[in-house]
Structure 1
Amino acid sequence: MTAWTIRLRALIARLLPQGALILSFLTFGYFAMGIVRNRVFANTYGAGPELDAYNAAFRIPEIALDVLVAAGLTAPFVPIFSALRRQDEAAANDFGRTVLTAAVTVMAVAIGAIFLLAPWLATQVGAGFDQPTRDLYVELLRINCLAQLMFAASICLGEVLVANRRFLFYALAPILYTSGIVVGTLLLADRLGIAGTAWGAVGGALAHLAIRATGIMRTSFRIRPAVRFQTPAFREFVRLMIPRMIGHPIEPLIFTYFTILASTVGAGSVSALNFAADYQVVPVSLIGVSFSLAAFPVLSAAYANGDATAFRSVLGRNLLLIGVLTSLAATALFVASGILVHVLLGGGAFDAADEARTTAVVAAFALSVPFDALAYPLSRALYATHDTIRQVFASFAGFGIVLIVSTAIAPSIGLLAIPVGYAAGVAVKAILLAIFLLPRVRAMPRPNGASAISPPSAPGASERS
């Protein structure tokens, strides 16, 4: 190994949290598969009512999943699980199994309600759809319910993998899910229409769950039911997850509103919006989400130890790196939007009008990339300081700005009001998060604080959120 290589590796290790590179690499693989999926969609269905119904069918189940499962796991699960494991691995595993049991049970009830209410939901989410498109929406929504139930279990297993730093199995799951959608479209669309794509999504969700279950087999965690709801750990988990349950579904709600607004603009607008949003989310997830996820345990440890210097250093490096990289990515996305849409989506049923409409939305979405990405490390930093409430306020404020701006300018600029309104909303959210975080960092706790989930006789354990 050359001296130059050693210096490069040392620089990367200093700038990036452990696990950030593998998460970013596999996230890139996921979005590469997303490009393949969109290409297959564009050439198979174009930007028409079938794909509008398919995309809309994901909105309500995704909100249910976010509110009831993902919300409660994002902030408190890993710190509580890790704190328990330092003292008693069996107790940590019982806690994880209890959360898994609760998540799957609650999601099963919610999915049952969504299945029964599908015809009514079609009139709400697809307000601008004609009756055949609404009927298709009902069919696709009910198929999608199966996938979301499997996601409930897979998300819980994913958090256990993160706690064990098994990032490979964690990040492979979305790639397999998208692959299932592509395979379903290629093999079943001719016989089943877009319902074949929906069944491909179910198969992909099963693969998503299976790969994470495979990773779990390499840990001490074993998958089986548990109902230890009265433990201090589970009560602490519930206390911290309630604010997250309120604030976490804001993004799905935003895009549900966008779906409703786009459905009134004209046929194909919902599909153009979803295609464009897929471009925007690539740099945000590749850089903002991956880097902040890898830094989260480091920030939590620094806060628990009362090490303000380490906390500020890790957070500052991440904010600077994410800000610079996503600003460059946003500029490139804005400049190259037309080429990207033409090369990756153009052809087949995706005609010149579809290309022009999608290109304009992609370019407008580029404005939001840096702000959207910076919100992730700021949110994780707040969670590390045991604060899950202020992030909710910032999310609601951003949501309000999105609604006001997009609704106000939609009559004049049509579909472009959606990405412009979104950029304004995430900018406000990021600014508020930074304002809320500053006093939390200044008031760092003293080292060796007692844990809220540990017995009084364990003074060295730190409370985690």
Structure 2
Amino acid sequence: MQRIFDIYTKKRTFFRGSGILAFTTVLAYAMGLLRDRLLAHAFGAGSALSAYEAAFVVPDLILNIFVAAALSSAFVPIFSDVLNSGSRDDSDTFVSSVLNGSLLVVLVAGIVAFIFAPQISHAIVPGFDQAARHTYIMLLRLLLLSPILFAISNTMGSILVTQERFFWYGMASPLYNFGTVIGIVFLGARWGIMGVAVGTLLGAVFHLSARLIGIMRHGFSYRFTLRWSDYYRRFLRLMAPKMFGQPVDQLTAFGFTAIASTISAGSIVVFNFAQNFQSMPISVIGITLATTAFPALARAGSQRDSKEFWHQISFTVKTILIIAIPSAIAMYLLRHFIIGLIFGGGEFSAEAVNATAATLGVFTLSIVTESITQLLARAFYSLKNSITPVVIALVGLGIAIGSGYLFSRTMGVPGLALGFFIGSLMKVIVLSILLKFEAQKKLQN
């Protein structure tokens, strides 16, 4: 009877967390769409908005490589070990060391980028004229404050994920976009694009505030320390492969963009618009369910509980399939209506609508595979293995770009989406096989 009650409690916690994250993800997408429409209406496709968009490249790179990579793969499994076998002092010391180490690296990288912003501008925006370049440099230097705020916020968010407290974790993203909306509406008219950047920083403050509200009940006690404990050394070892593999997404985008540029005028826009629509169900379904399952997988890995580990994998995969397959079918059937409704009219021709809809139709194949990949990667992280997902992602990148190039010669832009699916399918198959062997080594039968 107790086992039945435990299973019911775990499933209720899983679905409650998934529901919260799905709601906040959709809310963030809606707020992001409002932000983009307001930006387009206020600034058009001019140099000011181009400078604003380009100014995110370096801050995002700093954040993704030095903070997001570490926290997404290494924090939850190691922090679960701390909670399972360590003391409260160990917990506070570990979190403080992670936070202080992240801040130190981000500060150093930010200072270097601030000093060399003029030189960076020649690499990032070589085609800008002098006025646009000056705007870019000012925006870049201002937005370099954001990785500092996000380093703190993401560390607090990782604690919330480990503790399975998802509301304030999830609310951070829509609040971030809301800050930019405030900047556009209330500051853009007075300060121009700089007002929008100030609003973006305000959004980063909102992002951090949401996580801090959520962390209050945890009782975390910050310490000004950087202790090289066994937990912290294990954290660094686990994060290193993910940190070096973090540019895979950027390399994928670069590869497909390069191929699309050889097809026809507008192919890059068609590919990017179609992929943006494909990414939403992956975020709402795949990333949401994988994030919700991650703490349970990390606990099972920490306790070497094979039965609970595979139960969580099986249950989450079934849930993904039940939701993702109908969603993919619905998006496929409604692809022309969706693309026509959002982009039809104006300068976006009927031919472009049809090409984007056709590409989106092929992209729907990868909604299921990409969603499962999110779960499998976290399963490896929970077993303290961050190398395998990175290696397989690199192999998948090569297969996706290679097959995408071949298919694009006859199919056009939809061929790129087919190549993406083939690479994604390969990752699911190989990761599934390797996970079985990894679990046999790391878990008790």
What is the TM-score normalised by the length of structure 2?
Answer: 0.84
Counterparts in 2 of 1:374 and 1:309: CA distance versus 1, 3 Å: same
Question: 2:226 — aligned with what?
Answer: 227
Question: 1:59 — aligned with what?
Answer: 57
Q: Deviations over 1:68-98 (max 9, x none)?
A: 1111112221232233234311220111011
SS where residue 221 of structure 2 aligns? coil
Alignment of 1:241-280 (within 5 A): 241-256=239-254, 275-280=273-278
Q: Deviation at 1:421?
A: 4.1
Question: 1:238 — aligned with what?
Answer: 236
Instruction: Name the CA distance, whole Å, in 1 between partners of 2:371 and 2:274.
Output: 17
Mean alpha-carbon deviation: is it higher for 49-58 or for 276-285? 49-58
Question: 2:149 — aligned with what?
Answer: 150
User: Which consecutive residues of structure 2, in runs of 5 or more, have no partner in the other structure?
Assistant: 1-6
Aligned pairs, how many?
437
- Aligned partner letter, 2:74: P
Mean alpha-carbon deviation: is it higher for 188-197 or for 284-293? 188-197
Question: 1:460 — aligned with what?
Answer: none
SS where residue 19 of structure 1 aligns? helix
Counterparts in 2 of 1:333 and 1:393: CA distance versus 1, 3 Å: same
Instruction: Name the CA distance, whole Å, in 1 between partners of 2:167 and 2:13.
Output: 21
Q: CA RMSD in A?
A: 3.5
Mean alpha-carbon deviation: is it higher for 134-143 or for 244-253? 134-143
Q: Deviation at 1:324?
A: 3.7
Q: Deviations over 1:324-347 (max 9, x none)?
A: 422322232233234334444567
Instruction: Name the CA distance, whole Å, in 2 between partners of 1:125 and 1:100.
Output: 29
Question: 1:452 — aligned with what?
Answer: none
Question: 1:340 — aligned with what?
Answer: 338
Instruction: Name the CA distance, whole Å, in 1 between partners of 2:298 and 2:158.
Output: 16
Q: Deviation at 1:184?
A: 1.9
- Aligned partner letter, 2:377: S
Counterparts in 2 of 1:53 and 1:307: CA distance versus 1, 3 Å: same
Higher relative contact order (CA 8 A, sep 6+): 1
SS where residue 218 of structure 1 aligns? helix
Question: 2:306 — aligned with what?
Answer: 308
Instruction: Name the CA distance, whole Å, in 1 between partners of 2:245 and 2:285.
Output: 22
Mean alpha-carbon deviation: is it higher for 417-426 or for 405-414? 405-414
User: Which consecutive residues of structure 1, in runs of 5 or more, have no partner in the other structure?
Assistant: 1-8, 448-465
> Does the Cα contact within 8 Å between 2:59 and 2:146 map onto a contact in 1?
no
Candidates 319, 323, 326, aligned match of 2:317: 319
Question: 1:170 — aligned with what?
Answer: 169
Question: 1:214 — aligned with what?
Answer: 213
Mean alpha-carbon deviation: is it higher for 322-331 or for 386-395? 322-331
- What is the percentage of aligned positions where both structures have the same residue? 33
Instruction: Name the CA distance, whole Å, in 1 between partners of 2:314 and 2:125.
Output: 43
Mean alpha-carbon deviation: is it higher for 150-159 or for 350-359? 350-359
Matched, 1:393 2:391: yes
Q: Deviations over 1:101-122 (max 9, x none)?
A: 1101101222233334444544
Question: 2:111 — aligned with what?
Answer: 112
Q: Deviations over 1:28-56 (max 9, x none)?
A: 22222223223334444556665555444
> Does the Cα contact within 8 Å between 1:42 and 1:348 map onto a contact in 2?
no
Q: Deviation at 1:353?
A: 7.7
Question: 2:178 — aligned with what?
Answer: 179
Counterparts in 2 of 1:84 and 1:309: CA distance versus 1, 3 Å: closer
Instruction: Name the CA distance, whole Å, in 2 between partners of 1:53 and 1:416.
Output: 30
> Does the Cα contact within 8 Å between 1:44 and 1:349 map onto a contact in 2?
no
> Does the Cα contact within 8 Å between 1:157 and 1:213 map onto a contact in 2?
yes
Q: Deviations over 1:333-384 (max 9, x none)?
A: 2332343344445678878787666555544533332221110111111122
Instruction: Name the CA distance, whole Å, in 2 between partners of 1:268 and 1:204.
Output: 32
- Aligned partner letter, 2:216: M
SS where residue 217 of structure 1 aligns? helix
Question: 1:293 — aligned with what?
Answer: 291
Instruction: Name the CA distance, whole Å, in 2 between partners of 1:325 and 1:61.
Output: 35
Q: Deviations over 1:142-175 (max 9, x none)?
A: 3332222311221111112222322111111001
> Does the Cα contact within 8 Å between 1:123 and 1:134 map onto a contact in 2?
no
- Aligned partner letter, 2:95: G
Alignment of 1:92-131 (within 5 A): 92-126=91-125, 129=127, 131=129
Counterparts in 2 of 1:63 and 1:436: CA distance versus 1, 3 Å: farther
- Aligned partner letter, 1:245: M
Instruction: Name the CA distance, whole Å, in 1 between partners of 2:355 and 2:222.
Output: 47
Instruction: Name the CA distance, whole Å, in 1 between partners of 2:55 and 2:71.
Output: 24
Counterparts in 2 of 1:405 and 1:187: CA distance versus 1, 3 Å: farther
> Does the Cα contact within 8 Å between 1:326 and 1:370 map onto a contact in 2?
yes
Question: 2:140 — aligned with what?
Answer: 141
Counterparts in 2 of 1:403 and 1:132: CA distance versus 1, 3 Å: farther
Q: Deviation at 1:283?
A: 0.9
Question: 1:198 — aligned with what?
Answer: 197
Structure 1 or 2: larger helix share?
2
- Aligned partner letter, 2:435: L
Mean alpha-carbon deviation: is it higher for 214-223 or for 407-416? 407-416
Question: 2:4 — aligned with what?
Answer: none
> Does the Cα contact within 8 Å between 1:37 and 1:181 map onto a contact in 2?
yes
- Aligned partner letter, 1:179: F
Counterparts in 2 of 1:359 and 1:120: CA distance versus 1, 3 Å: farther
